[in-house]
Amino acid sequence: MVGDRKVYPVSEFNAGVASWLSRLPRVWVEGEVTEIRGQPTWQTVFVTLTDVDDGTTLSVTMARSTYDNLAVPLTEGARVHAFGRPDLYEARGTFQLRAITVEPVGLGDVLAQLEALRAKLADEGLFDAERKRTLPRIPNCIGVLTGVQAAAKRDVITAATDRFPAARLLIFETTVQGPRAPLAITGGLHTLAAHGDVDVIVMTRGGGSLEDLLPFSDERVIRAVAESPVPVVSAVGHEHDHPLCDLAADARAATPTAAATLVVPDARELSSDLKAARHDLQRLARLTISRSRDRLERERRLLLRAPLTGLLSVRARLDALRLSARGELDRSLTARRDRVGALQGRLATLSPSATLDRGYALVRHEGRLLADTTGLSVDDRLDVMLARGSLAARVDTIDPHDGASQENT
């Protein structure tokens, strides 16, 4: 007391207010994220929420672990709901909301709807492991559904052709975000699956927010993936993203590059397998001949020791053994030749020269093999390689492709 006054030191006053605030219930607060402050080494992240109607601001704090585990990462400009308890930072007398979680506006309803759809389609068996199909070991043609001029497209093409130079890809660029995306994606899947040469489809796009990836959790897209007549590989978003199309696809890849690794074999491994098959064929032939020679030698010795009366029966037995050995060798050699021939024929069919024989050409600009018109200008000189011969050309007009386009590499 100071005279007739009850006077509180600042620390006691702040402690009292903080104690009173701690008794208030937790509440939801809506606002726009206008600032995020926090370093990886900080234990607390500081966020400023602003009322979009009058500009009133509120300081929000949350633990680093809470911030790192948010279902949707915070970004400035996002409209959110923050759930927490009013709090006073006593050392500075700063009023704030200590948040337990932060969600984009409407996220709770969206997540509930997705969970209900997942449960419904799971009950129908669309996600059952028994429905998953094996991917072709050496695909005839790979369909790639991707966004227009997307980095995911370049990643798939680069990884596939580096791993298997004879790979053929049919690219379908379409809208992959927004309200029109589900119909565009299902249309692209149907177009690629209907192409006679396509025997596997890679559906891919880069990462984004939950809202950005919602088209790939649309029921129409999920059913189109499940009903596709050819296997589908889903490579949508980043590794931590799991749209519902992942559950319906025959295989899921964390990145576009990983998807390419799934759908094409390693040309070096194929070559190694061919060499191993040839080695096995030679070894089996030598072994069969050696066994037959040993058998014939045993019979020859038996013949020399046999009495004259048994000569005819021994000769007959020797002839039968000789025919049996020859038949066994012929069958082994034929089977191995067929295997080697099949591998050689398959590799020859998928080789770049075979692609040229079908009327395609390899086009280079300043030594760089072209897959699209990126980086080209009118009057640029091009070198064109055909199945027989080559020619020089000059760019007259440039028309970037749209929709489905054939790419042979």
CA angle (80 as vertex; 79, 85 as ends), nearest 5: 145
Q: How far apart are CA 368 and CA 376, in angstroms?
A: 11
CATH number at residue 57: 2.40.50.140
Answer yes or no: do 150 and 210 share one domain: yes
CATH number at residue 186: 3.40.50.10550
Answer yes or no: do 261 and 274 share one domain: no
Q: Is residue 291 part of a domain?
A: yes
Final residue belonging to a domain, choices 70, 104, 138:
104
Answer yes or no: do 121 and 140 share one domain: yes
Answer yes or no: do 343 and 377 share one domain: no
Q: Is residue 4 part of a domain?
A: no
Tally DSSP H helices, then E strands, for the chain. 12, 15
The answer to which of 93-107, 127-141, 238-252, 353-367 has the lowest mean pLDDT is 353-367
Answer yes or no: do 258 and 126 share one domain: yes
Answer yes or no: do 240 and 368 share one domain: no
Final residue belonging to a domain, choices 59, 79, 104:
104
Residue 178 has pLDDT above 90, yes or no: no
Q: Is residue 1 part of a domain?
A: no
Answer yes or no: do 87 and 178 share one domain: no
Final residue belonging to a domain, choices 213, 241, 265:
265
pLDDT of residue 37: 92
Q: Is residue 407 part of a domain?
A: no
Dihedral of the CA atoms 181, 186, 187, 193 (nearest 10)? 140
Q: How far apart are CA 187 and CA 207, in angstroms?
A: 22
Give 21's contacts (C-beta < 8 A, 6+ positions apart). Answer: 85, 86, 87, 88
Q: Is residue 2 part of a domain?
A: no
Residues spanned by the domain of 208: 109-265
Q: Is residue 195 part of a domain?
A: yes
Q: What is the mean predicted confidence (pLDDT) over 95-101?
A: 93
Answer yes or no: do 144 and 95 share one domain: no
Q: Note the pLDDT tens digit of each residue in 147-172.
A: 987 888 889 999 998 888 888 999 99
Answer yes or no: do 48 and 183 share one domain: no
Averaged confidence pLDDT in the chain: 84
Answer yes or no: do 229 and 197 share one domain: yes
Q: Is residue 212 part of a domain?
A: yes
* DSSP codes of every residue in 152-181: HHHHHHHHHHHH-TT-EEEEEEE--SSTTH
Number of domains in the chain: 4
Answer yes or no: do 213 and 275 share one domain: no
Residues 189 and 225 sit within 8 Å (Cβ to Cβ) = yes
Q: Is residue 272 part of a domain?
A: yes
Q: How far apart are CA 48 and CA 37, in angstroms?
A: 9
pLDDT of residue 407: 45
The answer to which of 33-37, 108-112, 281-285, 330-334 has the lowest mean pLDDT is 108-112
Answer yes or no: do 197 and 251 share one domain: yes
* DSSP codes of every residue in 128-145: -GGGPPPPPSS-S-EEEE
pLDDT greater at residue 93 or residue 373: 93
CA angle (344 as vertex; 162, 265 as ends), nearest 5: 30
Residue 138 has pLDDT above 60, yes or no: yes
